[in-house]
Structure 1
Amino acid sequence: MIVKCPICSAPVTWSQQSPFRPFCSKKCQLIDLGEWASEERSIADKSQNQTPSQLDIEEIEAMLSEQPDDFFKP
């Protein structure tokens, strides 16, 4: 199978002979790592864009009701 390098789009054979797959080279692999480390790349957190649903609130209330009475006392 042939895939494109996520950094430079060069064709990469997906096999044991391609040690940096899905990258074409160590250089592209390190560029990608640097982008993740500097937070230029990230996975979107969908939970930040959502408001709690009624089910979420009900689940939280159910969990809290199961706690002992002194759970919230210091």
Structure 2
Amino acid sequence: MSQRQTPSRPLEVPCPRCQTPVAWVEENLFRPFCSERCKLIDLGAWADGSHRIAGEPAMDETEIDEMIMRAERGDTGRED
């Protein structure tokens, strides 16, 4: 007895920008976005800092240099 495979519908996800349903298929060059426009708007938001991943701010070069110098001196910054 063979089983008939029913064609499955492609996964649909909401566009991260406008929430329009987007079929997750190879033919959609902009997935998970619905269009190039939404993709570029999202990229711009990352570039200008509107979108960011939560966490501690990155150290600047001066802080890194100071940390390296303290480590080389054996200064841990703790008072034991």
* TM-score category, normalised to shorter length: 0.5 to 0.7
Tell me what 2:48 maps to.
38
Matched, 1:29 2:39: yes
1:2-13 aligned at under 5 Å gives the runs 2-13=12-23
Deviations 1:16-72 (A, max 9, x none): 011100000000000000000000000100x57xxxxxxxxxxxxxxxxxx8xxx31
Query: How many percent of aligned residue pairs carry the same amino acid?
Result: 45
The number of residue pairs the alignment matches comes to: 52
Give me the TM-score of the superposition, normalised by structure 1. Answer: 0.62
What are the ranges of 5 or more consecutive residues in structure 2 without an aligned counterpart? 1-10, 58-70, 75-80
- The whole-number CA distance in structure 2 between the counterparts of 1:17 and 1:4 is 17
Aligned-residue Cα RMSD (Å) equals: 2.3
Shift of residue 6, structure 1, vs aligned partner:
0.5
Task: Kindly provide the amino acid, as one letter, of the partner of residue 33 in structure 1.
Answer: L
Structure 1 consecutive aligned stretches of length 4 or more whose deviation exceeds 3 Å:
none
Please say which structure displays the higher CA radius of gyration. 2
* AA aligned opposite 1:21: R
Structure holding more helix per residue: 1
TM-score (norm 2): 0.58
